[in-house]
Amino acid sequence: MAESTRYDTVIGLEVHAQLSTRSKMFCGCPTTFGAAPNSQTCPICLGMPGVLPVINRRAVEFGVRTALAFGLRVNAACRFARKHYYYPDMPKNFQISQYEEPLAEDGWLEIDTPAGVRRIGIQRLHLEEDVGRLVHEGDFAAAQASLVDYNRSGMPLMETVSRPELRSPEEAAIYLRAFRAVLVYLGVCDGNMEEGSLRCDANISLRPRGAAELGTKVEIKNLNSFRNVQRALEYEVQRQAEALTAGRRVAQETRLFDADRGTTRSMRSKEYAHDYRYFPEPDLVPLRLDPAWIEQIRAALPELPRARRQRFASQYGLPPYDAEILTQSRALAAYYEAAVGVHDNPKAISNWIMTELLRELGGDDEATVAKAPVSPANLAGLVRLIDEGTISGKIAKDVFARMLASGEDPVTIVRREGLTQVADAGAIEALVDQAIAANPKAVADFKGGKAVAAKALVGQVMKASGGKANPAMVDRVVQEKLSRI
């Protein structure tokens, strides 16, 4: 990486997010992932002769919601346009997208980087339809036939283009994570990169440190994980820096990331760039958005991850780490706040969620949190039992295990299983008296100045109580009785 320090890195990200609408962008077909090939298609998303598109209002609403969350200006009128190129996965051989008049323009996303807070500009946001998927028989090069699955054809996509303001591969990954978190919070995209719900292309160029003019831009496609975004860009920084240092020109081209090799390879050069022949989609009228509707969407915007994280830290006195984990998903944050609302011990509840609950759930997304067998109120109830001295922390772990298994509330479990700490002074005195009578040596040692001998007696009492005696009370009674001997 030595030569790379001579250059400034300039990165911009294009993110395609599949919107979580029930139906496709321009027809009524369902959007469920993983259905049998071509089972979710109709004449419209198959591009049959004579069919026409109709805009999915929900997709527009999701686009507006996202635009407002990133501070973009929602255009009073926008238009769809046809983007032409031939590919068998695209039924009409044009894609309905937006070109000169996108849904929204000019916003930003603030990200927390090791170098501090940075505001990354977002140039535009537009809606479009997805294409189908080609399935090649065997190896791509040797394949004798290709099959097309049009289930994905016509799925609603939202494309956002960042300004070239990211300064390192690491920043790009941070941007993408923060961006994803916002989409998931807004409920507009499930953020699943493995299933392709979130896809990213990166534009990257290098220029001599401090130079004003941008270097030649390379576009990298096929970045299907946060890690791969960072790896691909790191490789590209290295590759371009070596080229520039050796006095070679960086070609303007599109490159494909090969995750197995960790390298990028040329896909097509600018000379072969498509002429997309954009023109306004004549089958759709310009989309005019009612300002009142936009304001309604704005008013219903949820608190976004970064703001919520900051609030959790200040309102609940949580360490930054806790606040970060608890606000990763809207569902988990809501779970936390529901629990704290029942019993006011923010840090203890945070600990229980982060150590016990998340380990059991194995995820923090909406569906997983919704299925948690322990409700927020029950988790809060458990912490209350500890705080009130009804059960010990050790017993509480057992109670939690039972709560996971049965979904019951902790009070019921503790009562039925007789797990309540013995806090009855008379019962504890009787146990202490028995222990003192049975252990004259320990009493003698204590009297001889060995303070630890009292611990042995406490241990005896706890054992005799089956662990249910309140340890603090036992300790106090033992000390009292010994001092009186």
Does 286 interact with other proteins (rule: CB under 8 A)?
Answer: no
How near is the Cβ of 276 to other proteins at its closest, in Å? 8
In whole angstroms, give the CA distance from residue 74 to residue 232: 33
Q: Record the tokens describing residue 410, joined without a space.
A: 């902790």
Q: Which of residues 34, 116, 282, 362 is near other proteins by CB under 8 A?
A: 282
Does 46 interact with other proteins (rule: CB under 8 A)?
Answer: yes
Contact 176, 200 (CB under 8 A): yes
Determine the interface stretch with other proteins among 113-121, 181-189, 272-280, 320-328 (rule: CB under 8 A).
272-280
Measured from the CB atom, is 90 or 332 closer to other proteins?
Answer: 90
Does 268 interact with other proteins (rule: CB under 8 A)?
Answer: no
Beta-carbon contacts of residue 294 (< 8 Å; ≥ 6 apart): 64, 68, 74
Does 434 interact with other proteins (rule: CB under 8 A)?
Answer: no
Q: Which of residues 91, 102, 164, 381 is near other proteins by CB under 8 A?
A: 91
In whole angstroms, give the CA distance from residue 105 to residue 74: 7
Does 49 interact with other proteins (rule: CB under 8 A)?
Answer: yes
Does 52 interact with other proteins (rule: CB under 8 A)?
Answer: yes
How near is the Cβ of 141 to other proteins at its closest, in Å? 11
Q: Which of residues 30, 48, 424, 444 is near other proteins by CB under 8 A?
A: 48
Contact 109, 122 (CB under 8 A): yes
- For residue 294, give the nearest of 23, 130, 78 by alpha carbon: 78
In whole angstroms, give the CA distance from residue 408 to residue 402: 8
Q: Which of residues 279, 291, 444, 451 is near other proteins by CB under 8 A?
A: 279
Contact 386, 433 (CB under 8 A): no
Binding to other proteins (CB under 8 A): which residues in 139-168?
Answer: 146, 148
Measured from the CB atom, is 17 or 46 closer to other proteins?
Answer: 46
Does 321 interact with other proteins (rule: CB under 8 A)?
Answer: no
What are residue 73's DSSP bridge partners? 105
x/- letters, 58..87, toward other proteins (CB under 8 A):
------------------------x-x-xx
Q: Which of residues 12, 53, 107, 191 is near other proteins by CB under 8 A?
A: 53
- Cα Dmax for the chain: 102
**3-state SS class at 140:** coil
Measured from the CB atom, is 57 or 397 closer to other proteins?
Answer: 57
In whole angstroms, give the CA distance from residue 359 to residue 348: 16
Measured from the CB atom, is 97 or 240 closer to other proteins?
Answer: 97
In whole angstroms, give the CA distance from residue 181 to residue 118: 17
DSSP summary character for residue 252: -
Q: Which of residues 283, 295, 360, 388 is near other proteins by CB under 8 A?
A: 283
Q: Which of residues 24, 65, 92, 308 is near other proteins by CB under 8 A?
A: 92
In whole angstroms, give the CA distance from residue 82 to residue 401: 57
Determine the interface stretch with other proteins among 29-37, 88-96, 222-230, 395-403 (rule: CB under 8 A).
88-96
Does 275 interact with other proteins (rule: CB under 8 A)?
Answer: yes
Under rule CB under 8 A, how many of the chain's residues touch other proteins?
Answer: 30
Measured from the CB atom, is 88 or 319 closer to other proteins?
Answer: 88
User: How many residues appear in the chain?
Assistant: 485
- Strand boundaries in 291-398, DSSP class E: none
- For residue 165, give the nearest of 125, 243, 107 by alpha carbon: 107
- For residue 58, give the nearest of 31, 27, 23 by alpha carbon: 23
Residues of this chain that bind other proteins (CB under 8 A): 43, 46-55, 82, 84, 86-88, 91-94, 146, 148, 275, 277-279, 282-285
